[in-house]
Amino acid sequence: MMDGAWRAILRRYGEPVLVIPRAGGAGQGTRAFVQPVLDRGTEQREPSPLGLRREDRFLYLGPPDIPLEDGGQVAWRGGRYDIQAAHLVGEQHWWALLRPADREEGT
């Protein structure tokens, strides 16, 4: 029963995302929740040898039938996000921590 309710919630309120495997390829489209992880005590930009680096993090909650893997990516709202950690929670949904993908100039 909970699985059917979760799928209905994703269909109605989830946003379109594209899950791209670590090996690359076209990826699979689905609907999921993606939202920023807000840390009030930390800065969103960290110093690095090349200047300031983004430290934004996002929480992903998606359906169990589209697997996520560390090193893969999620495309959402015109951006790409690296999957830092991904776990299947029971058999109900995928939970993942995302960070904006580093982009080189011209890409």
pLDDT tens, residue by residue, 9-28: 999 999 999 999 998 888 99
Token duo for residue 41: 């005590």
For Cα atoms 86, 53, 73, give the angle at the middle one, nearest 5 degrees.
30
2 in helix, strand or coil? helix
Sequence-ordered strand ranges (E) for the chain: 15-20, 28-36, 45-48, 51-54, 58-62, 73-76, 79-89, 93-100
CA distance 79 to 25: 17
Write the pLDDT tens digit of every residue in 24-77: 888 999 999 999 887 665 555 556 666 665 568 899 999 998 999 999 999 999
Q: Is the pTM of this model over 0.85?
A: no
Q: Which two tokens stand for residue 92?
A: 């109900």
